[in-house]
């Protein structure tokens, strides 16, 4: 990815961060700039700026250009691609993504993603959302995470749902499978999360105070309850209303309980409090599931007074995860 660094001019001193980026970075999309800022992908003088923050003349803004620029073309429509719709209204869809399918395409000519199926079935979505590659998609799931994705059908619905997501008014629940030994019946994980300092594929849960000072992480809160245990595995229900990238995977690894099948975080867990017993990692890799055991199982929103935007949708545990916990 191409790294972009721009310096705030005198004319933009005192401007809001998103407006400054749009003015300074040619081709920047305002919607994608906002998401990049909300996702902690933008640094000002090496640190994350709080939402709504302003910049001063001479500040250095660093970001990846793909994080703020829209692709030239949109997702290629695939009308015959499978698409499981769990909820449909005039304003919003909730669809069930299978494990192994990307939520959106990385390049405009790619096919096989949820985005291709969406724009194939609902062509009007091409003009909705962060970019033409992300038709109506309010939030993403990792390729190997299965479950529910919220999709806006109109530009007005997209803005409302995006704001609701950021203000934690859209509730999201997940089901996951991890090693059961030593896991409490319920708990809270609050380690803030930063971009990994050495590996762009991963994030870094900052357990030590020194890491918080060093890496300027984003706050992250995960609450969980064990649903049931079966042999070495626990089925866990978790909530993360405003989940950052890889939050659940990194959080459970940070407490020594990486998700079953999670090759990215299933080895030596990051940070203090991680299990030092190599057997825990071996168990995680030995799940035989072929992907990390994470499923987005429920999404709810009261509609903010608009019944067309309201939904409460659940998705059953997939067969591959169910096989681990009986």
Q: Look up residue 131 and give its two tokens.
A: 């970019």
Active-site residue, 142 included: yes
What phi and psi values does residue 228 have, to the nearest 5 degrees? -165, 160
Count of positions (residues) in the chain: 326
Asked whether the beta carbons of 64 and 21 are under 8 A apart, the reply is no
Give the integer Cα–Cα distance in Å for 235 and 317.
10
Give the integer Cα–Cα distance in Å for 284 and 288.
9
Asked whether the beta carbons of 289 and 260 are under 8 A apart, the reply is yes
Nearest to 96 by CA among 256, 311, 307, 316: 316
SS3 253: helix
Give the integer Cα–Cα distance in Å for 107 and 113.
11
For strands 92-97 and 222-230, give the pairing. Answer: unpaired
Write the DSSP string, 60-78. EEEEEGGGTB--SS-PPP-
Catalytic member of 142, 144, 211, 262: 142
Asked whether the beta carbons of 216 and 45 are under 8 A apart, the reply is no
132 contact partners, CB below 8 Å, separation of at least 6: 70, 71, 73, 74, 75, 108, 126
Mind telling me the catalytic residues? Answer: 142
């Amino acid at each position: 990815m191409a790294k972009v660094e721009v310096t705030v001019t005198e004319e933009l001193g005192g401007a809001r961060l998103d407006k400054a980026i749009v003015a300074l970075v040619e081709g920047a999309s305002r919607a994608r700039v906002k998401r990049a800022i909300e996702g902690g992908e933008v640094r000002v003088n090496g640190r994350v700026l709080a939402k709504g923050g302003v910049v001063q003349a001479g500040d250095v803004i660093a970001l990846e250009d793909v994080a703020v620029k829209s692709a030239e073309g949109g997702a290629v429509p695939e009308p015959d691609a499978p698409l499981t719709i769990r909820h449909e209204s005039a304003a919003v869809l909730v669809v069930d993504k299978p494990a192994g399918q990307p939520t959106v395409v990385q390049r405009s000519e790619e096919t096989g993603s949820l985005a291709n199926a969406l724009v194939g079935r609902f062509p009007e979505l091409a003009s909705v959302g962060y970019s033409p590659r992300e038709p109506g998609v309010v939030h993403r799931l990792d390729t190997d995470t299965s479950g529910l994705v919220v999709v806006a059908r109109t530009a007005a619905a997209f803005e409302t749902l995006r704001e609701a997501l950021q203000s934690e008014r859209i509730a999201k629940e997940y089901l996951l499978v991890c090693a059961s030994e030593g896991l409490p019946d319920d708990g809270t994980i609050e380690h803030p999360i930063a971009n990994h300092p050495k590996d762009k594929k991963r994030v870094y849960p900052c357990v030590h105070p020194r890491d918080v000072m060093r890496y300027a992480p984003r706050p992250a809160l995960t609450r969980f309850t064990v649903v049931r245990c079966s042999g070495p595995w626990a089925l866990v229900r978790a909530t993360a209303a405003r989940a950052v990238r890889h939050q659940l995977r990194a959080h459970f690894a940070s407490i020594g309980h990486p998700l079953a099948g999670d090759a990215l975080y299933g080895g030596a867990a990051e940070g203090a409090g991680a299990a030092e017993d190599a057997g825990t990692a071996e168990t995680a890799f030995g799940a035989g599931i072929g992907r990390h055991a994470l499923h987005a199982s429920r999404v709810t929103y009261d509609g903010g007074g608009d019944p067309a935007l309201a939904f409460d949708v659940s998705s059953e545990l997939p067969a591959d995860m169910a096989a681990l916990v009986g």
